[in-house]
Chains A and B, each alone.
Chain A
Amino acid sequence: MTTKRPTAAELANEERVLALVDRVIGLEAELARASIYFSPTKDDFDVLEREMQGLRQQLAAVHSTRTWKAGRAVLAPLRVLKRGRA
């Protein structure tokens, strides 16, 4: 289960992928938090709705990048392993 140690270029790329995965999970968490703390007054609703739209757009932007797709490909076997274990 060991892997080769990365070159400098590979390291830089993997750090970018790691940061993107972190950002996506973070945005998903922010969305969940915003939903939970939703307030039913119209003004609050508008503010939250705008915030959530902004977050959704950021998420979509991350998901559409080439680096994210590459990262998903790299991590896909891990997700399969996780599902198999659950």
Chain B
Amino acid sequence: MTNPSAPGATGSPLVSFLAICPDDARVQELLSSLTTQRDWELVLVAPIDPVAAHPAIVRAEAQASAPASRLIEDGVAAASGRYVCVLPDVGVPVDLAVPTLVDWLALAPDAAVVYTDESAVRPDGGIEVVSKQGPAPERLRCQFYYGDLLLFRRDTIAELGGLSHDVDGVELYDLALRCVQAGAITLHVPRVLFHAPSTRAIGAFAETQLDQVRTVLERHLAATGGGSVEAVAADGVHTTVRPLHGEPLVSIVIPTQARLSDPLRPGGEPHSYLLHALRGLVEHTTYQNFEVVLVVDTNPEPAVIDEATRLLGERLVIVDFELPFNFAAKANRGVLSAVGEYVLMLNDDVEVITPDWIESLLRLAQLPGAGMAGCMLYYEDDTIQHGGHHYWMGSPTHIGLQVPRGAAGSQHAFQVEREVGGVTAACSLFPRSVYLEVGGMTTLLPGAFNDVDFCLKVAELGYQAYWTPRAELYHFESKTRDARVRAYELETLGRRWRHRLHQPQYWPFPE
């Protein structure tokens, strides 16, 4: 029998699958799934040789009592593949997994870390496809979301000095984070290449491993700009936060008509969404170094302006806007009139929920290369309005629309800070310098999608957008303006950005 995986046979990279202390049944299961494929070897790291025989099997003697990191290193030492993949105790690479990996690696030969989508069996017996976000270092510090078919370049492991031996059971998460620290290229193959025969909690750890998880995350944060670990959890969602650098002035820019709306209840007083937002800002916000720039249409309600002045005193700047309605132009005028190092664009129909919302946004906006940070917005019926922008098949929308508040989201996406394609201008914080560099918001889009265009410009210039669930607000969506989308607005946006309006790397779902 010839070895189907001989590395010279196809000129393709060999993948070494490592099975740690497998029994005979497990070896047979793996061979069954791999035997029709090419470019692989199976490294059995075991104290006793399983009886299975196959030309692609490599044996690495090991002590069963050795820590996992030692067993993995024994396997890596015995492997000859360019990539190694430590297999979990259950689940198998699917048919065509290796050829698919090889095809993608041909396009990204320098990839040091590779992960894929996978499938699992749901509790009701159905098959669940587990789609993943693309490479996202900030999400990775909150969640080991790469999953089970995770490949590392063998020479990269060597360059990093091997595995860490003091974080038993968490060494692969540690290795993945160290690859990020080293600037190694990570490749996501958005194809289902692994199947688990049971429900899988992506990135979950045993309770006994949580101390090691904390150690790994603390080291990672210290090596990548700082931060702190607030909580680690067995479900794989870890609360880590980046540091706040100083207390820079934040200019909160609010385009508004500053008028009164109908009473919220029959017979009640006329309501001002703006004043409601400002009261929340003043009474519930812990961050103190801010100014508020109101960009106000002609003929505002004097009582609203008076009360805003009383609430904010010298923190208030009022800028007149005498032109026909154009949200983008109002936003531009507000930012140009602001003097803060950072600008927080805010709609006038919001209500602050989390007191440290500005700090949470600022921590992300201060990251190197950050273009903006956005928050979690809820409708008044406690469903999600915004969990980040979502660009799919030419249409921009919001992640999480109308999902109940408190839902974890697919792979806990609503519970972790993560990279996104863009965030809504209803509440977003960005360096003022970035806003000026991209030419602000386009006045070609007076109502809808000016924020999408802004986000795409920011991304085009190489800045990253982030989203956090730690800044929560209600958004009484468009209670104070016309929210209809006109055909020309989508056409104008598409004329510029149709080639950028499909970004599954940030949210790999149609909805």
Contact = CB atoms under 8 A, between A and B. Distances in A.
A85 B41 CA distance: 43
Interface string A1-35: 11111100001001100111111111011101100
Interface in B282-336: 317, 329, 332-333, 336
Interface in A24-73: 24-26, 28-30, 32-33, 36-37
B433 interface: yes
B498 A22 contact: no
B242 to A, nearest CB: 16
Contacts of B333: 11, 15
Contacts of A78: 433, 436-437
A14 B498 CA distance: 29
Query: Which of B329, B333, B439 gathers most chain A CB within 10 Å?
Result: B439
B438 A33 contact: no
Contacts of B457: 22, 25-26, 29
Interface residues of A, number: 32
B368 interface: yes
Interface in B448-468: 453, 456-457, 460-462
A29 to B, nearest CB: 4
A33 B497 contact: yes
Contact of B337 (A5, A26, A32, A33): A5
Contacts of A2: 249, 339-341
Contacts of A11: 333, 336-337
A15 B339 CA distance: 16
Contact of A22 (B317, B440, B499, B500): B440
Contacts of B245: none
Contact of B460 (A19, A23, A25, A86): A25
A24 B439 contact: yes
Interface residues of B, number: 35
A18 B495 CA distance: 20
Contacts of B460: 25, 28-29
B442 interface: yes
A6 B462 CA distance: 29
A28 B369 CA distance: 22
A30 B491 CA distance: 12
Contacts of B436: 18, 21, 75, 78
Interface string B129-166: 00000000000000000000000000000000000000
Query: Which of A3, A4, A36 gathers most chain B CB within 10 Å?
Result: A3
B337 A6 contact: yes
A74 to B, nearest CB: 8
A81 B433 contact: yes
B496 A29 contact: yes
A39 B395 CA distance: 22
A5 B339 CA distance: 7
Given A25-B457, A86-B369, A3 B339 contact: yes
B439 A25 contact: yes
B221 to A, nearest CB: 20
Given A26-B442, A33-B495, A75-B437, A85 B337 contact: no
B462 A30 contact: no
A33 B339 contact: no
Contacts of A5: 317, 337, 339
B77 interface: no
Contacts of B270: none
B442 A22 contact: yes
B336 A79 contact: no
A29 B456 contact: yes
A86 B183 CA distance: 13
Nearest to B495: A30
Given A3-B339, A11-B333, A21-B439, 10 more contacts: A5-B337, A19-B439, A20-B439, A22-B441, A22-B443, A22-B444, A26-B496, A29-B497, A75-B436, A78-B437
Interface of B: 248-249, 317, 329, 332-333, 336-337, 339-341, 368-369, 433, 436-444, 453, 456-457, 460-462, 495-500
14 contacts: A2-B339, A3-B339, A4-B339, A5-B317, A15-B333, A15-B336, A20-B439, A23-B439, A25-B457, A25-B460, A29-B496, A29-B497, A85-B368, A86-B462
